[in-house]
Amino acid sequence: MASQQKTVIKVPKDLSPSERIELSEDIINFIRLRTQNGTGYRPGTGRNYSLSNKPYTKDYAKKKGSSFVDLTLSTEMLESMKLLTQKSGSITIGYDKGDKINGKVEGNQIGSYGRSPNPKKARPFLGISNKDLETLMDALDDSN
């Protein structure tokens, strides 16, 4: 069974619950758009990376009809992402434990795809860089 796929994002403690909810919606939309545009997120470095650096295998690309990695053959995986919890100082975004899509997300995050994890095949996308979070926070400040 796949472990729950989620990311905890530290936010200022002075954000109100409604501001945290609004920010979480902005973060989720940002992650969806970034991923659809071919960019992932490496939690170990805190930086974005190009998904084209992790091309599909030749056999899978032939079956799919393209070698461009977009993680959106079906919108289900990105559309299922949601706010799990919010509390003073943090927002947790991800997927419900036991959700059928959680295994697919885990496969992309750690490169397991139903097998042992393989970092060479991993395409992590959950998370946001500090710079991108600051941009979203500035936009939140401007709207309030």
The parent domain of residue 27 ranges over 6-143
> Pick the residue with more confidence: 69 or 54?
54
CA distances from residue 115 to 4, 11, 109, 125 in whole angstroms, order as listed:
17, 35, 13, 19
In a domain, 67, yes or no: yes
Confidence at residue 29, expressed as pLDDT on a 0 to 100 scale: 97
For 48-58, write each residue's pLDDT tens digit: 988 876 666 66
> Pick the residue with more confidence: 112 or 58?
112
pLDDT at 73 over 60: no
In a domain, 1, yes or no: no
| Count of the separate structural domains present in the chain | 1
Would the CA dihedral through 8, 9, 14, 17 be positive or negative?
A: negative
In a domain, 125, yes or no: yes
Which band of pLDDT confidence, cut at 50, 70 and 90, is reported for residue 77?
confident
Confidence at residue 64, expressed as pLDDT on a 0 to 100 scale: 56
